[in-house]
Amino acid sequence: MKKFNIQAPNKAIEPLLIDKINNLTKPKGSLGTLEELALQIGLIQQTLSPALHHPQNIIFCSDHGIADEGVSVSPKEVTWQQTIHFTHGGGGVNFLTHQHGFSLKIVDAGVDYDLPYERGIINMKVRKGTRNFLHESAMTEDEMNLCIERGAEIVKLCETEGSNVLSFGEMGIGNTSPSSIWMHLFCKIPLAQCVGAGSGLSTQGVNRKLQILQKAVNNYNGDRSAIDIIRYFGGYEMVMAIGAMLQAAEDHVIILVDGFIMTACMLAVMQLYPSVKDYAIFGHCGDESGHKLLLDTMGAKPLLHLGLRLGEGTGAICAYPIVDSAVRMINEMESFKKASITKYF
């Protein structure tokens, strides 16, 4: 597996950042989460005047062998249909990227279809869908390593285009299943608390999904290391997102974390390099069963709770204006001294 040099941000600048934030023309702490975000971003960028440049949303797309077991109410072909639909500009993620000034990159990590790459889809296909982890490993070690490398490559591309803040999304019918298993195995939470309705399963469907996933976990006979669990149950789009998150953290790029699947990817990343969390801003708590519990277990504080469960990066993009406000606060508010105002706290 590709090695990354990921260190926690240097805390030497922290007292100066706190002093600057505390001496803006407001009562100490009165801007709450904006102050916390400004401190985090200042630490990531190692500056008292952080800036956000060229935000981009990257959607990694892939199919899953486990989808053949009927763990999703949506048919498998929706993966390739939606992947192409994003290129037309009419998807859920499209209006949000337009609204908030994001560029959009659509990456084929393993869609089971011959996609029209001439429409701007980036071809990083590893294979046409993972294998069915009910019966065997979803991917080989070589495929996993390729996903990590290609995810990192996409981030490097974004950096050459001037980006220092990235959100990651996904498209892959069935991908709540590997996410639930990662949550179960990494957090030691009963599987029943990790499995939800995905794109709309009935109660009966959720129960059947739980039975299938429990059987898959029971069939697993790997060494239970983090990397083996990632390989055995993961999706190509998910492992590619892991590689992207690792590269972003190494390069001190802000990571905007989306919903349940991307939170599960961040959980997996933290098993390998715990300091990656220092570079992550969790956009929202979605309505997929298990997401709030997962966030709580990770000690993550989401910015929004809007009842979203679409994926694609939509929740992370919705949260971006709050991040932007935090950066504007630390840069545009005057200090008490400059404004000739007596401190009133």
Indicate which residue of 35, 143, 250, 312 is catalytic: 312
CB-based contact 244:168 (threshold 8 Å): yes
* Count of helices and strands (H, E) across the chain: 13, 6
**SS3 breakdown of the chain: % helix, strand, coil, rounded to 5?**
50, 10, 40
Q: Checking phi first, is residue 5 left (phi over 0); if not, alpha (psi -120 to 50) or beta?
A: beta
**Interaxial angle between packed helices 141-160 and 226-233, expressed in degrees from 0 to 180 and rounded to the nearest 10:** 90
The Cα-based distances of 136 to 12, 61, 125, 130 in angstroms read 48, 21, 20, 10
Q: Quick one: which of 179, 213, 172 has its CA closest to 69? A: 213
Q: Return d(Cα 157, Cα 139) in angstroms, integer.
A: 25
Q: Can 312 be counted among the known catalytic residues? A: yes
121: Cβ–Cβ under 8 A, 6 or more apart, which residues?
A: 83, 84, 87, 106, 107, 108, 115
Active site residues: 312
